[in-house]
Homo-oligomer: A and B are copies of this chain.
Amino acid sequence: MHHQLFARAALLNRTAEERLSYSLLYLYKACMSIMAETSNKTLSIDNMNPNIKVMQYAVRGPLVIRATEIEKELEQGVKKPFKSVIKANIGDAHAMLQHPITFIRQVLATAAYPTLMTSDLVPEDVKARVNRLLKSCGGCDVGSYSNSVGVEIIRHDVAEYIRKRDGGIPSITDNIILSGGASEAIRSSMKLFNSKVDGKPPGVMIPIPQYPLYSATIAEYGMYQIGYCLDEDNNWALDISVLKRALEESRAHCCPRLLCVINPGNPTGQVLTLQNIQDIIKFANDEHLFLFADEVYQDNIYDPNSKFFSFKKVMTEMGPPYSNLELISFHSSSKGYMGECGLRGGYAELVNVDPDVVTQFKKSISAKLCSTVLGQIAMDCVVNPPKPGEPSYDLFAKEKAFVLKTLGQKAKMITDAFNSIDGIKCNAVQGAMYAFPRIFLPPKAIEKAKERGEAPDFYYAWNLLENTGVCVVPGSGFCQKEGTFHFRTTILPPPDIFEDMITRFKAFHTKFMADHS
């Protein structure tokens, strides 16, 4: 560019002034051309997928980005009124120093590197299990693609797990689809519904508050979100009259097709009662809705008076017509006592789904080839753990019990701690991994937040982070009943950090309330 410019100017047999003028003209044109090149992108915020622009996922939103920045600032020696960041924003057990279950890791290591079969570093039952799993992999190796629906023997083990869990109600291997975490299965399943009916988008009922995977996916697919408020005063139960009203009000905007229920609840930590589940099933049947049961926290029950009932078991025992309800249930290796988030294991069970739709579902995931085989193997360890008498059993049982006991203690500790603070009210954490306390913010805090263009609980959580290093997710990221404010915190930090977190929190809250009164 420069060469051309000066060559052209030099070649012209003109005065110095004219040459300068030409040079300036060319320089100007060159600059304009570069600017056009750099700003005139073919893909810009104005012409990109509009659905992606509106989707939000608060669990990894601006507060989390700021928390990471603060961590770096602390490393660089920036002075803060705290010495560490406590990330209580995401259900990520191992990041919170929970020890992995030895058995799962031995199986993974041996499957990845079968030379370990000849070592005494792994017990015999691990070797036998890996042998059995590898026989079901292409070329007896985890480096081969599996079928898109997953490794056959693992799907079989999942079906067997469900059958036993549900007291003998049959589960069919062919209806099990393994996936890269439950999220992937939920997204693929929801995609099936994306068809306009009478020009209206499909409507998806989700709890308010909800896990933002749902709102994000609905937005991305351009579907219509039908929120139904959980009853905070009744420990986040589903009030059928509220469901009914939300459904009726939505009909002007969409064709309602799908009801999503999260049990145990995220972010709300409740465990649904048998009666409540039966009522929900009746409602879905009466309203001709397809049901998604997000049951990834089925192992995380802490309240001795609560029990996990799978939607499949309840509806099957209710008999026709309820036992014919179309249902997809989801589970994961990321939660429970194992907390293997990074391995990306999960599954969906399809119940009463139209066989033609099942065929289309399986085809739709085939272009993605398959989910990670090592993640599938992690899922196998969860659904088919060591049995009493096997060499790995004692350690496995001990590790599992320890994790669940510790989580149970923290579930109680956090509820008690929050409820001892003025201006905070927290339902019992019966299950899952979260508390979702309500904060009664003074008008001055709400005003200040409005001035800054922020949701009031975002303003609260931002201040909490900047002043204490504790990172939680504002309730607005999960949606909440209008005029109420909350935040979600996990119960995952290890006991000493957990106590530190509560101490920091109490001090902050008292000062915040005083500053804004």
**Chain A residues proximal to chain B, CB less than 8 Å:** 1, 33-34, 37-38, 41-45, 47-53, 55-57, 59-60, 90, 92-98, 100, 105-106, 108-110, 112-113, 115-116, 119, 121, 137-139, 141-146, 148, 180-181, 183-184, 187, 191-195, 197, 212-213, 216-217, 220, 257, 288-290, 320-321, 324, 326, 339-344, 352-354, 356-357, 360, 363-364, 366-375
Contacts and interface: CB of A to CB of B under 8 A. Distances in A.
A49 B183 contact: no
B92 A145 contact: yes
B342 A43 contact: no
A383 B402 CA distance: 39
A315 to B, nearest CB: 12
Closest 10 CB pairs of A and B: A95-B138, A109-B113, A342-B373, A94-B143, A95-B144, A216-B367, A109-B109, A108-B112, A45-B356, A94-B141
Contacts of A197: 47
Contacts of A339: 143
Contact of A180 (B34, B115, B180): B180
A45 B180 CA distance: 26
A326 to B, nearest CB: 6
A92 B220 contact: no
A321 B142 contact: no
* Listed residue (A34, A57, A105, A369) with the most chain B CB atoms within 10 angstroms of its CB: A369
12 contacts: A42-B326, A49-B194, A49-B195, A52-B191, A52-B363, A55-B364, A60-B369, A98-B139, A100-B141, A105-B113, A109-B112, A342-B372
Given A41-B357, A52-B192, A56-B363, 11 more contacts: A42-B290, A48-B360, A60-B148, A60-B366, A108-B109, A109-B116, A116-B121, A142-B342, A143-B341, A143-B343, A213-B367
A372 B213 contact: no
A375 B142 CA distance: 11
A181 to B, nearest CB: 7
Nearest to A180: B180
A288 B40 CA distance: 9
A371 B217 CA distance: 17
A320 B141 contact: no
Contacts of A352: 41
A44 B342 CA distance: 35
A395 B89 CA distance: 44
A354 B47 contact: no
A321 B357 contact: no
A43 B363 contact: no
A15 to B, nearest CB: 31
Nearest to A319: B1
A48 B197 CA distance: 10
Contact of A343 (B148, B289, B374): B374
Contacts of A371: 180, 344
B48 A192 contact: yes
A364 B220 CA distance: 8
Contacts of A341: 143-145, 369
Contacts of A44: 354, 356-357
B372 A143 contact: no
A217 B340 CA distance: 30
B109 A49 contact: no
A384 B41 CA distance: 33
Contacts of A180: 180, 344, 371-372
Contact of A370 (B195, B340, B342, B366): B342
Contacts of A356: 44-45
Given A343-B374, A374-B342, A94 B48 contact: no
Contact of A342 (B97, B113, B137, B192): B137
A141 B342 contact: yes
Contacts of A53: 360
Which of A50, A143, A320, A367 is the most central at the interface, judged by chain B CB atoms within 10 Å of its CB?
A143
B97 A139 contact: yes
Nearest to A121: B119
A212 B137 CA distance: 24
B369 A372 contact: no
Given A141-B100, A144-B95, A324-B37, A45 B357 contact: yes
Nearest to A30: B320
Contacts of A373: 342-343
A296 to B, nearest CB: 12
Contacts of A96: 139
Nearest to A361: B52
Contacts of A100: 141, 143
Contact of A41 (B48, B121, B342, B354): B354
A112 to B, nearest CB: 4
B145 A95 contact: yes
